Amino acid sequence: MRMSVADSAATKYLQELEGEGLVLQEGQTGHVVFYVLK
């Protein structure tokens, strides 16, 4: 399922989840970044 979400909104939400320890960021910047559940 695809959802229309602005890049800035998605980035902010993922950073919040990372701060709460729920996801882990893999990669540094750009298109090589992805997140995995902890």
Distance CA 5, CA 13 (A): 11
pTM for the whole thing?
0.73
pLDDT at residue 26 in the model:
95
Residue in 29, 27, 25 with CA at minimum distance from that of residue 37: 25
In tens, the pLDDT along 1-38 reads: 788 999 899 989 999 999 999 999 999 888 889 999 99
**pLDDT at 29 (0 to 100):** 85
Task: Supply the DSSP string of the chain, one letter for each residue.
Answer: ------HHHHHHHHHHHHHTTSEEEESSSGGG-EEEE-
What residue ranges do the domains of the chain occupy?
A: 7-37
26 neighbors 36 (Cβ within 8 angstroms): yes
